[in-house]
Every structure is written in structure tokens, then in C-alpha cells.
Amino acid sequence: MMNNDYNGKSYTFRWAPMTGFDGAKFAIFNDDGSTSYPDWEYEVIAAVKHVPGGNRTIRQSMGTGPATVTYSVWCDSRAEYDKLRAKQGVSGVLRVIANMQSIRGTQRKVQNVNYEDISNVILTQLSGAKFDPDGPVEARATFMAPINTLTGTTS
């Protein structure tokens, strides 16, 4: 566990220096000071129609939308942020600390930390960047992944 106080704000991270997306490294933090990750969300798409003259409603399930998640990320340097920014719209591997979210990826241990590599992830948006003259950049990164709701995997 790491605590950084920066510009009067306190950031709490789990120590996981290899967290990142497609080679661009960052740390994931929570504004509320907790160390849990927000989880992926997906929409079950359905058309719902009422049958007039009765009490019947027809609900037609039309499958599941892609899973999305938005992380608050901390890039150690402007260079790391630039790398991440260049990955917008790119499909790649998201590496996060293992067992911290619902998608089941490939687990691997690096520098004594258990990570989970999630493939087929797209960085759809990078927003709210806050730059510091000393280098670190804080931003919000939104990822999208296909999800098999039965297996919890992205394939």
C-alpha cells in the first residue's frame, strides 16, 4: 500500500508498478481513499412493450452490450501519459492487479505482484487530465471490453 500526498491531496495505491494498458503504465486510485477498483458495467439490451388491453408485457432480450469501466489513473510522468493517450481507440491488453475486478483474464506474477492480463480491451476515452509541473499526470481512462457473461471472459 502506498500513500502519496501531492499538491495537498492524498492518493492511496496498491503497489503494482506493472499496471497499465498496452505498455503504457499507470496506477489506479480511488478518490475516496479506498483501494478497491470500480468494476466493469454492461447493459442487457432489451425491448419492452406492453400489450394494450391486458396486463401482459413483452420483454425481448437482444443480448448484452460491451463491458465498460472508468478508472482514475495516475501516470508517473508526462511521457507515460503521452504513451497512454496514443493508445486511445487501440485494442490491447489491460493489466490490473489480480482479482480486483470481474473479468477473468490471464493471471501472472511479476515482481512478486499478481496481475491479471485482460485482452481485447479498447481505451475508448482519456479525459479530465490534470498536469503537474513536476511530471505526474492524473486522468480518467475509460476502457471497453467484449464480455461473455457466462464465463466472465473477453473471448
Partner 1 sequence: MTDIVNLTYYGAVNVNGTAVDWESISTSHGKDQPIGQATIQAIKPLPAGVDIGSAVQITAGYYGGMQSNIFRGRVSSFQDAFSDSGNTVSLKCEGELWKMKNPQENAVNLEYSVPTKLSDIIRVLLDLRSVSPYLVDEIRTSDLSDPSYLYIRLGGLLFAGDESKIIPSQASLLSWATQKCELFGYYLYDTPSGQVRVSRISGKPSGTAVMTFTEGLDIYSVTRNSDSAQIYNYVEVLGAKYLDTNAVPVQIRSVPASVPSNADINPPGYRKLRVSDNWIVRNREANSARLVKELDFGARLVEESWETWGNPDIQPGDIISIISPSTNPQYATNNKRWVTSVSHSLTDRGWNTSISAWAGGGTTLPEATDCVTQTIAGGATFHIGDQVRPNFNQTNPYGIEAQINFSVAATYTSLSLSGYIHGSNSPLYNDENGNKIWKNLSRVEVWQSGVRVSSVDLPAYYDSPIDSYASIPTNWVRFTIPLAGTLATGTGQLRIIAGEGVDNQEGKSFDDFEVTGMSVRTCGVGQPVLP
- Scanning 30-38, 43-51, 92-100, 124-132 for contacts with partner 1 by CB under 8 A, the matching segment is 43-51
Sequence-separated (6 or more) residues with CB below 8 Å from residue 60: 46, 47, 48, 49
CB of 62 to partner 1, least distance (A): 7
Cell numbers given for 64: 448484452
CA–CA gap between residue 35 and residue 123 (Å, rounded): 22
Task: Pick from 7, 34, 60, 112 the residue near partner 1 by CB under 8 A.
Answer: 60
**Are the CB atoms for 122 and 91 separated by under 8 Å?**
yes
Task: Pick from 7, 56, 150, 155 the residue near partner 1 by CB under 8 A.
Answer: 56
Q: Is residue 49 within the footprint of partner 1 (CB under 8 A)?
A: yes
Q: Is residue 150 within the footprint of partner 1 (CB under 8 A)?
A: no
The 114-133 site mask, x for binding partner 1 (CB under 8 A), equals --------------------
**472508468: which residue's cell?**
70
Torsion sign, CA atoms 155, 70, 84, 86:
positive
Task: Pick from 59, 111, 150, 155 the residue near partner 1 by CB under 8 A.
Answer: 59
Give how many residues touch partner 1 by CB under 8 A: 15
- Scanning 5-13, 52-60, 70-78, 108-116 for contacts with partner 1 by CB under 8 A, the matching segment is 52-60
**Are the CB atoms for 121 and 154 separated by under 8 Å?**
yes
